[in-house]
Amino acid sequence: MAATRIERHDAGMTIHIGLLLYPRLTQLDLTGPYEVFHRIPDAQVHLVWKTTEPVHADSGLGLLPTTTFADCPKLDVLCVPGGFGQRLLMTDPAVLGFLRAQAETARYVTSVCTGALLLGAAGLLGGYAATTHWAYTDLLPMFGATHRPGRVVVDRTRITGGGVTAGIDFGLRVAAELAGEQVAQAIQLGLEYNPAPPFACGHPDVADPALVALVRGRLRGADGSVLAD
């Protein structure tokens, strides 16, 4: 481990992990890491939103917040998932204020997919290396971040994951930081996380350029904007 890394959590102490839950997020950005996080010893995982009313992902799947911004404890790990609903939050003072306040004391400030852009909007990625979904990595410098290729990027107290399915890799890396590699490996084995995708097209580096252009157009829209609907 790098000398700048924060020491692991003491055994027996509750580790508070909070994931921002908001309308029209991509549910796997949240549920992938959640499936790892709740298996970390002594971890308590919070799904945080403005209210505890049901929230619907961009797929329509309903999810229940477990606490509100006001009632959320101080978090050891702050995690922001991505999704198209992230766009509306980029200028939301309640959301940005919550992220900034929790980041002041969190051991790790983290994201999956376009959640990194929301961290950036809150001013929490300036001077850090980071990643996000491949279709949006060019936006990271807008927030003072440097794009570093990889499914998961760790830079001191910032841990960022790539798009959607990278959230599982991300979750395992966070688990290793908090509880050690043996715990993370046991979680990975228990989940039978041993990917063997049927097609070699899961990243622009290996996909057909025409397919990349098609998917990029669908994700970014005609004007390429992701900062507002």
Task: Say which residue the tokens 């790539």 belong to.
Answer: 162
Q: How deeply is 148 buried, as exposed, middle or buried, from its count of CB atoms within 10 A (0-12, 13-18, 19+)?
A: middle
Nearest to 99 by CA among 158, 31, 53, 153: 158
Under DSSP, is residue 110 helix (H, G, I), strand (E, B) or coil?
strand
Distance (Å, whole) CA 156 – CA 158:
6
- For residue 10, what pLDDT is reported? 60
DSSP code of residue 217:
H
Listed in sequence order, the DSSP H helices in the chain are 27-37, 86-89, 93-103, 115-121, 166-179, 181-190, 209-220
What is the set of active-site residues? 113
Q: Where are the domains of the chain?
A: 15-196
Residue 72 CB neighbour total at 10 angstroms: 21
Classify strands 146-147 and 43-49 as parallel, antiparallel or unpaired.
Answer: unpaired
Instruction: List, for the chain, all residue ranges whose pLDDT scores fall below the cut of 50.
Output: 1-8, 222-224, 228-229
Task: Say which residue the tokens 């991300």 belong to.
Answer: 170
Phi, psi (deg, nearest 5) at residue 49: -150, 180
CATH superfamily for domain 15-196: Class I glutamine amidotransferase (GATase) domain (3.40.50.880)
